[in-house]
C-alpha cells in the first residue's frame, strides 16, 4: 500500500509543477482540449444511443418476459459503456500524446530540470510516438474487451468489470506516460516494462490516480500536463529510487 500511495503522490508532484512552470504546463492543455472534445462527443453519442444499440445486439431477448429481457439488456449496456470508457481513456492518452508531442516534450524536460540532475538530450521523436500510440490503442482494445466480458458476469459483473478496467488501464497509462523520460535514456519498451513490474504497486498508484482523474468533468484535459510531468518523477524513481529523497530544484518558466 505504501508503494501505491507513493505512485499517487507522483501525480501530485506533477500537479505541483503548475505553480512552478505554469506557462509550460498550459501548453499541454491545447492538444488535450482538442482530443478531449472530440472523444467527449463520442461518449455523449454512445450514451444517447445506448438503449437501441443494446436492443439491436440482443434480438434473442425480444420474446423474453419483460423483467429478464431488461436485466440482460441493462447488464450488456453497462458492460458496453464500461468497455467504451476504458477504450476512450486509452485513446485519449494515445492521441493526445501524438498530437501534442512538441508540447509534452517541453513539459517533461521542464520536469527533469526541476528535479535536478542531468537532462537527457535524446528526444522521443514523432514516429516513435505514433508507434507507441498505436501499441497503446491495441492493448487498450484488449483491455476494453476483457472489462466488457467481465461486466457480463451475473450480479457482480459491474463492479468486477469496472475495477479490472481501471487497474488494467492504469497500468497501460503508467507504461505509456513514462515512456518518454525512459526512452530518452535509451531504455526500450521491454526494459521499461521490466522496470515497471519491479515497482508494480507504485506504477499502478500513478496510473490509477491518473485514470480516475480522467472521469472528473474536464479532468482529462486539466490533468494531462500534470500526468506527463508526474510520469517523469515515476521514471526517475524506477531508475534511482533514492533520488526522490533529494529536494527538487526550484524552477520557473523561462
Q: Please report whether residue 60 resides in a domain.
A: no
Write down the pLDDT at residue 202: 93
Write down the pLDDT at residue 149: 77
One pLDDT digit (tens) per residue for the chain, 254 residues: 888 999 999 999 889 888 888 888 888 888 888 888 888 888 788 778 877 778 777 777 776 776 777 777 777 777 777 777 777 877 888 888 888 888 888 888 888 888 876 777 665 565 666 777 677 777 877 877 787 777 767 666 677 877 888 888 889 889 888 888 888 888 888 888 889 988 889 999 999 999 888 878 778 888 889 999 999 889 888 887 554 433 444 444 54
Write down the pLDDT at residue 201: 92
Q: Please report whether residue 10 resides in a domain.
A: yes
Q: Please report whether residue 53 resides in a domain.
A: no
Domain tally, the chain: 1
Q: Please report whether residue 174 resides in a domain.
A: yes
Residues in CB range of 208: below 8 A, 6 or more apart: 4, 7, 8, 166, 167, 170
Alpha-carbon dihedral 58, 63, 69, 70, rounded to 10 degrees:
100
Q: Please report whether residue 228 resides in a domain.
A: yes
**Which residue segment(s) compose the domain that 179 sits in?**
2-40+85-241
Q: Please report whether residue 75 resides in a domain.
A: no
Torsions phi, psi for 186 (to 5 deg): 80, 20
Q: Please report whether residue 57 resides in a domain.
A: no
Write down the pLDDT at residue 247: 40
Q: Please report whether residue 254 resides in a domain.
A: no
Name the burial class of residue 71, with classes exposed (0-12), middle (13-18) and buried (19+) by CB atoms within 10 angstroms of its CB: middle
Write down the pLDDT at residue 251: 46
Amino acid at each position: 500500500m505504501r508503494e501505491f500511495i507513493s505512485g499517487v503522490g507522483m501525480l501530485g508532484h506533477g500537479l505541483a509543477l503548475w505553480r512552478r512552470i505554469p506557462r509550460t504546463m498550459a501548453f499541454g492543455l491545447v492538444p488535450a482540449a482538442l482530443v478531449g472534445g472530440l472523444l467527449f462527443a463520442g461518449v455523449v453519442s454512445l450514451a444517447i444511443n445506448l438503449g437501441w444499440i443494446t436492443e439491436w445486439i440482443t434480438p434473442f431477448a425480444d420474446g423474453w418476459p419483460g423483467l429478464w429481457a431488461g436485466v440482460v439488456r441493462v447488464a450488456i449496456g453497462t458492460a458496453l459503456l464500461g468497455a467504451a470508457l476504458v477504450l476512450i481513456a486509452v485513446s485519449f492518452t494515445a492521441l493526445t500524446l501524438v498530437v501534442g508531442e512538441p508540447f509534452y516534450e517541453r513539459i517533461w524536460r521542464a520536469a527533469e530540470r526541476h528535479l535536478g540532475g542531468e537532462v537527457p538530450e535524446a528526444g522521443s521523436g514523432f514516429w516513435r510516438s505514433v508507434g507507441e500510440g498505436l501499441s497503446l490503442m491495441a492493448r487498450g482494445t484488449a483491455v476494453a474487451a476483457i472489462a466488457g466480458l467481465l461486466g457480463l458476469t451475473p450480479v457482480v459483473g459491474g463492479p468486477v468489470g469496472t475495477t479490472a478496467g481501471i487497474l488494467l488501464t492504469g497500468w497501460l497509462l503508467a507504461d505509456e506516460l513514462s515512456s518518454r523520460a525512459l526512452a530518452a535514456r535509451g531504455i526500450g519498451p521491454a526494459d521499461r516494462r521490466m522496470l515497471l513490474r519491479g515497482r508494480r504497486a507504485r506504477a499502478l498508484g500513478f496510473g490509477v490516480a491518473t485514470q480516475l482523474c480522467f472521469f472528473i468533468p474536464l479532468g482529462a484535459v486539466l490533468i494531462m500536463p500534470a500526468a506527463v510531468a508526474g510520469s517523469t518523477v515515476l521514471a526517475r524513481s524506477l531508475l534511482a529510487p533514492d533520488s526522490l529523497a533529494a529536494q527538487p530544484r526550484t524552477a520557473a518558466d523561462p
